[in-house]
Amino acid sequence: MRMYGAEVSYFSGKLRAYLDWKGLDYAEIPASRDVYIHKILPNIGWLVIPVIERDDGAYMQDTTEIIRRLETEVPEPPVLPAGPIQALASMILELYGDEWLVLPAMHYRWNHNRDFAIAEFGALSAPDLPPEEQRAVGERIAKPFAGALPALGINPATTEAIEESYLALLRELERHFSVHDYVLGRAPSLGDFGLFGPLYAHLFRDPESGALMRSKAPAVVRWVERIRSAADRGRAMQGGTDAVPSTLLPILRRAMSEHLPVLLDTVEQVAAFAHSASDRNLPRAIGFHSFRIGDAAGQRAVFPYVQWMLQHVVDKIQSVPPDERPAVVRFLEDIGAGALAELRFKTRVRRQDFQLVLDN
């Protein structure tokens, strides 16, 4: 396999960590301008990384979809534990890392580490140009990323609360990783890779946020370095238990208290959009809705992709055998996610040809 990605990329970090831990044979190729023009755009249809090109010429895009596909091909060791409670904890953390930690990741990058990010983008896109010309290239590439902050809900009214929430999360992660090597204990799982994307690519590598992590959360730094080095490549999770470490519960509760209202409203917004949609293709965003983080309130775009991720979690809940369901429901209620046990989708979405479409 060839992975077109970048160290500076949020989701490249997630996928690279999975591939390395799994011990899969791949070569990473930096996503330069030529790669975007000659590989990604003609085969995916839009500019995005990471992208996988298989030896047979087939392409894969989207880290969640790629990981699930590769798990069917190389199931051992599994990225998800067998027990439904541990599996759900891991899936919830993947969703949280992918779709909610984008708030601190993007805030710190573009409000505290902008010059570093611009230099990284310029060097990646145009490696053969001198630094001053790379800077100009990086400025052009940075515009849509930095310009996305308002759509994510990052603005002067919310940045203080975003920072407070992130610092509280760091404290919770620090307590957890002081006694556990990984999210669920002895080996990485999908939850680790979901958290690794933002915590590595933006919040560890970028200089100001990286200094903050090193000063406030050295155990989190050690976890980042364990994941990055694939120190426990191929190690399977311990069987025989479906318990979640007690130190993980505050992290899951934070994830659900902040993210669940947005998730549930997204489901309602997608259903309303589908009712009047003229075709099945979904845009990246379908209007705005309210959200809260800490004491701050704001508006952010409604992203239908979030529902596609949530569908995996809810489908997992609904697949639990009846005799195991009471324990799963108690776990969900304990972390503030009881509503997920009863959630039913009026409208489902699916991915088709690297795009999101309405399923019914």
Give pLDDT, residue 278: 86
Identify whether residues 219 and 277 lie together within a single domain. Answer: no
In b/e form, how buried is each residue of 295-331, taking b as 16+ CB within 10 angstroms?
ebebebbbbbbbbbbbbebbebbeebeeeeeeebbeb
- pLDDT tens column, 143-164: 999 999 999 999 999 999 999 9
pLDDT in tens, 110-136: 999 999 999 999 999 999 999 999 999
Asked if residue 84 is part of any domain, the answer here is no
Q: Are residues 124 and 216 in the same domain?
A: yes
Does residue 348 sit within a domain?
yes
Burial label, 232 (beta-carbon count in 10 A; 0-12, 13-18, 19+): middle
85 closest CA partner among 284, 303, 341 = 341
- Tell me if 51 is assigned to some domain: yes
Q: Across the chain, how many H-helices and E-strands are there?
A: 17, 8
pTM above 0.85, yes or no: yes
Reported confidence tier of residue 252, pLDDT bands at 50, 70, 90: very high
Supply 1's token pair.
Answer: 């396999």
CATH of residue 24: 3.40.30.10
36-45 mean pLDDT: 97
- Co-location of 213 and 280 in the same domain: no
Residue 88 lies in a domain: no
Listed residues 43, 73, 103: the one ending a domain? 73
Compute the distance between CA of residue 65 and CA of residue 78 in angstroms, rounded to an integer: 15
Verify that 221 and 99 share a domain, yes or no: yes
Asked whether the predicted pLDDT for residue 173 surpasses 90, the reply is yes
CA separation for the pair 52, 17 (Å, rounded):
14
Which residue, 229, 260, 285, sits at the end of a domain?
229
Banded model confidence at residue 330, pLDDT cuts 50, 70, 90: very high
Question: Do the domain assignments include residue 320?
Answer: yes
Dist. CA 117–CA 139, nearest whole Å: 9
**Domain containing residue 184: CATH number:** 1.20.1050.10
238, pLDDT greater than 90: no
CA geometry: angle 304, 302, 98, nearest 5 deg: 65
Q: What is the pLDDT of residue 275?
A: 92
Residue after which a domain boundary falls, among 204, 229, 254: 229
Q: Looking at residue 192, what is its pLDDT?
A: 98
- Does the CA dihedral 269-94-77-11 come out positive or negative? positive
- Mean pLDDT calculated for residue range 96-123: 97
Residue of 48, 80, 17, 7 whose CA lies nearest to 239: 80
Q: What is the phi/psi pair of residue 117, to 5°?
A: -65, -40
Is residue 85 domain-resident? Answer: no
What's the number of domains the chain is made of?
Answer: 3
Structure tokens at 228: 């990055």
* SS3 annotation, 302-356: CCHHHHHHHHHHHHHHHCCCCCCHHHHHHHHHHCCCCHHHHCCCCCCEEEECCEE
What is the pLDDT averaged over residues 81-97? 97
Mean pLDDT of the chain: 96
Report pLDDT for 239. 74
Token pair in block for residue 290 = 């309210």
Q: Reduced to 3 states, what is the DSSP secondary structure of residue 4? A: strand
**Residues 41 and 120 occupy one common structural domain:** no
State mean pLDDT over 31-53: 96
* Residues with Cβ within 8 Å of residue 314, at least 6 apart in sequence: 340, 343, 345
| Contact (Cβ atoms closer than 8 angstroms) between residue 355 and residue 45 | yes
Q: Are residues 114 and 188 in the same domain?
A: yes
Residues 353 and 258 in one domain: yes
Q: What is the largest CA-CA distance in the chain?
A: 64
Here the tokens at position 252 are: 């899951």
103 and 220 assigned to the same domain: yes
Q: Are residues 100 and 219 in the same domain?
A: yes
Q: How far apart are the first and last CA of the chain?
A: 34
In a domain, 259, yes or no: yes
Residues 348 and 323 in one domain: yes
Q: Is the dihedral of CA 211, 93, 28, 34 positive or negative?
A: negative
Residue 330 CA to residue 249 CA, distance in Å, equals 13
Positive or negative: CA dihedral 286, 12, 230, 214: negative
Exposure of 91 by Cβ count < 10 A (0-12 exposed, 13-18 middle, 19+ buried)?
Answer: buried
- Tell me, what's the pLDDT at 236? 84
Between CA 69 and CA 75 the distance in angstroms is 10
Same-domain pairing of 123 and 188: yes
* Owning domain of residue 347: 246-358
Judge whether 155 lies within some domain. yes
Q: Check whether residue 269 and residue 348 sit in a common domain.
A: yes
Backbone angles phi, psi at 288, to 5 degrees: -130, 155
Structure tokens given for 337: 């996610």
| Alpha carbon 331 to chain centroid, angstroms | 22
